[in-house]
Structure 1
Amino acid sequence: MPTLRERLTNYLNGDNMVSRLLGKAEEKTGIKKYYLATGSLCSLGLYLIFGYGASLVCNLIGFLYPAYRSIKAIESTEKVDDTIWLTYWVVYGVFSVVEFFSDIFLFWFPFYYLGKCGFLLWCMAPFSWNGSQIIYRRFIRPLFLKHERTVDSVVSDLGGQALNTAENAIRQALEGSVINSLETEKSK
């Protein structure tokens, strides 16, 4: 099995956006792609540990690239990439809800944003054992399938209630505007 350094070197020498971007930087600076990549990763890691606004940087990392890849997946004719990115967004959504309730405790840990960023990168990694596939298959899917009928019933009931509430609100608004216009005409 190749080492982490060998895998990083193979990735940096491959045909991908990061490799092309680092290739241009290498041409301009004379610094090898490997050193540019490791320096950038170390700087990012230190910023996520000590930097102000680490939460924003971490959330941007977890959002921007997946959003870009999702748009590319929508525009492609293949179904596989759609499934990959839909799975990521399901896991990202569940993670965001869980994080909302636990963030008050977790953000006190010194390496929280570094760990969160690592988790999000693992979830979007371009290989079959990435985090979103594993978490979805092992946790979210079985839980959903177990409670699918209940969830469908609740969603249907909420949809019907929302429709009734909207109809009543519109009806009351229209009745109120008709009454106000009649009162305005009587006072003239």
Structure 2
Amino acid sequence: MSVPPQLQKVIDDVDKQLHEKGSLTDMLGMVESKTGIKRLHIVLGAFGLQALYLVFGHFAGLVCNIIGFLYPAYVSVMAIESAGKEDDTQWLTYWVVFAVLSVCEFFAQQIVAVFPIYWLVKAVFCIWLYLPATKGATILYQKGIRPFVLKNQSSIDQAARKVADAAKDVVGEVKQRLE
């Protein structure tokens, strides 16, 4: 069976990265030498099992959200601690897109009932969003979120002011009742 050239390039890139120096790749090298199974196949097998779990697993939604949260949260902290601004912008953009996605999926249970591979698709989508090579979050932000916000900025600001004023009123009333 022939592999399309674009997919073969991705596979070759992943295999190359799996042979670079690092604690995870060193561990994979040890497993590879003991089992005789190529580290690429080990990783692809692990991803395959993960994909099956995201389709059939009981806590697939939780696992999917961990995939969309843990790595981005870690690299966001590292970005905050770094001197440069580029990584800050990348991860702030990711979190804006992730938040919009989270609001949009409020009805996830209904989606999952009709679309059983939802959590797998969402996990792949989150990975696409945060991989630096794909710049998925930047693409969605530039083509969708940014134009929407800029077009509706005054309405959004007005609504935010109304909510803030209402919250101040509620806090004021609560303070009065507690005094």
Q: Which category describes the TM-score, using the shorter chain as reference length? A: 0.7 to 0.9
Q: Deviations over 1:103-149 (max 9, x none)?
A: 1332022211111110011011122x422111111100000000111
Structure 1 CA distance, aligned partners of 2:23 and 2:59? 28
Higher gyration radius (CA): 1
Structure 2 CA distance, aligned partners of 1:160 and 1:76? 37
Contact 1:22–1:37 (CA under 8 A) maintained in structure 2: no
Q: How far off is 1:39 after superposition?
A: 1.4
Q: How has the CA–CA distance of structure 1 residues 27 and 104 changed in structure 2, closer, same or farther, with 3 Å as cutoff?
A: closer
Segments of 5+ residues of structure 1 without an aligned counterpart are 175-188
Match of 2:118 in 1: 112
1:173 aligned onto 2:178: yes
Contact 1:88–1:133 (CA under 8 A) maintained in structure 2: yes
Structure 2 CA distance, aligned partners of 1:20 and 1:42? 22
1:163 aligned onto 2:168: yes
Equivalence map 1:31-180=2 (5 Å): 31-101=37-107, 103-108=108-113, 109-127=115-133, 129-174=134-179
SS, match of residue 88 in structure 2:
helix
Structure 1 CA distance, aligned partners of 2:23 and 2:40? 13
Identity over aligned pairs, percent: 37
Q: Deviations over 1:126-174 (max 9, x none)?
A: 22x4221111111000000001111112212322221232122112210
Match of 1:185 in 2: none
Give me the TM-score of the superposition, normalised by structure 2.
0.86
Segments of 5+ residues of structure 2 without an aligned counterpart are 1-5
Root-mean-square deviation (CA), in Å?
1.8
Match of 2:18 in 1: 12
* Total equivalences in the alignment: 169
SS, match of residue 13 in structure 1:
coil
Structure 2 CA distance, aligned partners of 1:39 and 1:70? 28
